[in-house]
Amino acid sequence: MPPGCIAVVDSMGVQDAGIFGDILCARMAKRGITALVTDGVVRDLHGVLGTGLNVWCSGAAAPASVAGLTFVDWQRPIGCGGVAVFPGDVVVCDDDGAVLIPAAMLDHVLEHAPEQERLEGWIMDEVNRGAALPGLYPPNAENKARYEASKKK
Protein backbone atom coordinates (compact mmCIF):
# COMPACT_ATOMS: atom_id res chain seq x y z
CA MET A 1 0.00 0.00 0.00
CA PRO A 2 1.42 3.37 -0.91
CA PRO A 3 1.68 6.06 1.78
CA GLY A 4 -1.41 8.25 1.94
CA CYS A 5 -3.83 5.64 0.64
CA ILE A 6 -7.03 4.58 2.33
CA ALA A 7 -7.42 0.81 2.44
CA VAL A 8 -11.04 -0.16 1.76
CA VAL A 9 -11.52 -3.84 2.60
CA ASP A 10 -14.46 -6.15 1.86
CA SER A 11 -15.01 -8.71 4.61
CA MET A 12 -18.07 -10.23 2.89
CA GLY A 13 -20.23 -9.55 5.92
CA VAL A 14 -18.15 -11.74 8.21
CA GLN A 15 -18.53 -10.34 11.73
CA ASP A 16 -16.99 -13.14 13.79
CA ALA A 17 -13.43 -12.88 12.49
CA GLY A 18 -11.26 -9.79 12.86
CA ILE A 19 -10.05 -8.72 9.44
CA PHE A 20 -7.12 -6.70 10.85
CA GLY A 21 -5.50 -6.59 14.27
CA ASP A 22 -3.01 -4.41 16.10
CA ILE A 23 0.09 -5.74 14.32
CA LEU A 24 -1.21 -5.18 10.79
CA CYS A 25 -2.66 -1.79 11.73
CA ALA A 26 0.64 -0.77 13.36
CA ARG A 27 2.47 -1.72 10.17
CA MET A 28 -0.01 0.27 8.07
CA ALA A 29 0.42 3.30 10.35
CA LYS A 30 4.20 2.98 10.20
CA ARG A 31 4.02 2.94 6.38
CA GLY A 32 1.93 6.13 6.29
CA ILE A 33 -1.41 4.61 5.33
CA THR A 34 -4.13 7.21 5.98
CA ALA A 35 -6.98 4.95 7.05
CA LEU A 36 -8.64 1.56 7.02
CA VAL A 37 -12.32 1.30 6.06
CA THR A 38 -13.99 -2.09 6.25
CA ASP A 39 -17.44 -3.56 6.65
CA GLY A 40 -15.79 -6.16 8.87
CA VAL A 41 -14.54 -6.11 12.43
CA VAL A 42 -11.05 -5.71 13.88
CA ARG A 43 -9.41 -7.71 16.63
CA ASP A 44 -7.13 -6.35 19.36
CA LEU A 45 -9.26 -3.18 19.47
CA HIS A 46 -7.26 -1.47 22.22
CA GLY A 47 -4.04 -2.06 20.29
CA VAL A 48 -5.58 -0.99 16.99
CA LEU A 49 -6.72 2.29 18.54
CA GLY A 50 -3.23 2.75 19.97
CA THR A 51 -1.61 2.62 16.52
CA GLY A 52 -3.01 6.01 15.55
CA LEU A 53 -4.34 4.56 12.29
CA ASN A 54 -7.76 5.99 11.41
CA VAL A 55 -10.14 3.02 11.35
CA TRP A 56 -13.79 2.77 10.35
CA CYS A 57 -15.20 -0.71 10.91
CA SER A 58 -18.29 -2.57 12.10
CA GLY A 59 -16.89 -3.41 15.53
CA ALA A 60 -14.49 -5.76 17.26
CA ALA A 61 -14.21 -9.54 17.51
CA ALA A 62 -11.59 -11.78 19.05
CA PRO A 63 -11.18 -14.59 16.46
CA ALA A 64 -8.32 -14.09 14.03
CA SER A 65 -9.05 -13.53 10.34
CA VAL A 66 -7.58 -16.91 9.44
CA ALA A 67 -10.65 -18.37 11.13
CA GLY A 68 -12.98 -16.98 8.46
CA LEU A 69 -11.28 -14.63 6.01
CA THR A 70 -8.48 -14.95 3.49
CA PHE A 71 -6.69 -12.21 1.54
CA VAL A 72 -7.40 -12.61 -2.18
CA ASP A 73 -6.18 -9.53 -4.07
CA TRP A 74 -5.94 -5.76 -4.03
CA GLN A 75 -6.65 -2.85 -6.41
CA ARG A 76 -9.73 -4.71 -7.65
CA PRO A 77 -13.41 -3.76 -7.55
CA ILE A 78 -15.07 -4.88 -4.32
CA GLY A 79 -18.22 -4.43 -2.33
CA CYS A 80 -17.89 -2.81 1.09
CA GLY A 81 -20.88 -2.00 3.27
CA GLY A 82 -23.23 -2.57 0.35
CA VAL A 83 -21.36 -0.12 -1.91
CA ALA A 84 -19.37 -0.89 -5.06
CA VAL A 85 -15.79 0.32 -4.64
CA PHE A 86 -13.39 0.68 -7.56
CA PRO A 87 -9.69 1.57 -7.53
CA GLY A 88 -9.39 5.36 -7.81
CA ASP A 89 -12.67 6.13 -6.02
CA VAL A 90 -12.41 8.78 -3.32
CA VAL A 91 -13.19 8.01 0.31
CA VAL A 92 -14.14 10.81 2.70
CA CYS A 93 -14.25 9.96 6.40
CA ASP A 94 -15.19 11.84 9.55
CA ASP A 95 -16.62 11.05 12.96
CA ASP A 96 -19.93 10.04 11.35
CA GLY A 97 -18.39 7.39 9.11
CA ALA A 98 -17.08 6.95 5.60
CA VAL A 99 -18.59 8.01 2.27
CA LEU A 100 -17.41 6.83 -1.12
CA ILE A 101 -17.38 9.16 -4.11
CA PRO A 102 -17.03 7.31 -7.41
CA ALA A 103 -14.10 8.73 -9.37
CA ALA A 104 -16.40 9.57 -12.29
CA MET A 105 -18.58 11.74 -10.00
CA LEU A 106 -15.82 13.59 -8.17
CA ASP A 107 -15.96 16.77 -10.26
CA HIS A 108 -19.74 16.96 -9.85
CA VAL A 109 -19.49 16.49 -6.07
CA LEU A 110 -16.71 19.07 -5.79
CA GLU A 111 -18.82 21.53 -7.75
CA HIS A 112 -22.03 21.09 -5.72
CA ALA A 113 -20.91 20.08 -2.21
CA PRO A 114 -19.74 23.53 -1.07
CA GLU A 115 -23.15 25.03 -1.84
CA GLN A 116 -24.89 22.24 0.09
CA GLU A 117 -22.60 22.95 3.07
CA ARG A 118 -23.40 26.68 2.87
CA LEU A 119 -27.14 25.95 2.75
CA GLU A 120 -26.93 23.62 5.75
CA GLY A 121 -24.89 26.22 7.64
CA TRP A 122 -27.60 28.80 6.96
CA ILE A 123 -30.26 26.34 8.10
CA MET A 124 -28.31 25.67 11.30
CA ASP A 125 -28.08 29.42 11.93
CA GLU A 126 -31.85 29.68 11.49
CA VAL A 127 -32.42 26.78 13.91
CA ASN A 128 -30.12 28.45 16.44
CA ARG A 129 -32.26 31.58 16.11
CA GLY A 130 -35.30 29.48 17.06
CA ALA A 131 -36.80 28.78 13.62
CA ALA A 132 -39.07 25.74 13.35
CA LEU A 133 -38.01 22.92 11.03
CA PRO A 134 -41.14 22.52 8.86
CA GLY A 135 -40.40 24.36 5.64
CA LEU A 136 -36.85 25.05 6.73
CA TYR A 137 -35.39 21.56 6.46
CA PRO A 138 -35.77 20.73 3.70
CA PRO A 139 -36.33 24.32 2.63
CA ASN A 140 -39.59 25.24 0.96
CA ALA A 141 -39.77 27.93 -1.74
CA GLU A 142 -40.06 30.74 0.80
CA ASN A 143 -36.99 29.64 2.75
CA LYS A 144 -35.02 28.97 -0.43
CA ALA A 145 -35.72 32.58 -1.43
CA ARG A 146 -34.64 33.81 2.04
CA TYR A 147 -31.45 31.77 1.74
CA GLU A 148 -30.67 33.17 -1.72
CA ALA A 149 -31.27 36.71 -0.43
CA SER A 150 -28.92 36.09 2.51
CA LYS A 151 -26.10 35.18 0.11
CA LYS A 152 -26.34 38.61 -1.51
CA LYS A 153 -25.74 40.43 1.78
Question: According to the model, what pLDDT value does residue 111 have?
Answer: 97
3-state secondary structure 74-129: CCCCEEECCEEECCCCEEEEECCEEEEECHHHHHHHHHHHHHHHHHHHHHHHHHHC
Per residue in 84-131, pLDDT (tens digit) is 999 999 999 998 989 999 999 999 999 999 999 999 999 999 999 999
Question: According to the model, what pLDDT value does residue 115 have?
Answer: 96
Per residue in 32-79, pLDDT (tens digit) is 999 999 999 999 999 999 999 999 999 999 887 766 787 888 899 999
Q: Are residues 83 and 120 in the same domain?
A: no
Rg of the chain over all Cα atoms, to the nearest angstrom? 20
Question: According to the model, what pLDDT value does residue 70 have?
Answer: 79
> Whole-model pTM?
0.81
Question: According to the model, what pLDDT value does residue 135 have?
Answer: 97
What residues contact 85, with CB distance under 8 A and at least 6 apart? 8, 10, 77, 78, 79, 100
Question: According to the model, what pLDDT value does residue 5 have?
Answer: 92
Decide if 142 is inside a domain. Answer: yes
Residue 84 domain boundaries: 6-101
Q: Residue 23: pLDDT above 80?
A: yes
Q: Are residues 65 and 135 in the same domain?
A: no
Decide if 134 is inside a domain. Answer: yes
Decide if 18 is inside a domain. Answer: yes
Question: According to the model, what pLDDT value does residue 69 have?
Answer: 80
More confident: 15 or 109? 109
Decide if 57 is inside a domain. Answer: yes
- Looking up residue 69, the CATH number of its domain turns out to be 3.50.30.40
Band the pLDDT of 1: cuts 50, 70, 90.
Answer: confident
Q: Are residues 16 and 90 in the same domain?
A: yes
Q: Are residues 60 and 129 in the same domain?
A: no
Structurally, the chain folds into a number of domains equal to 2
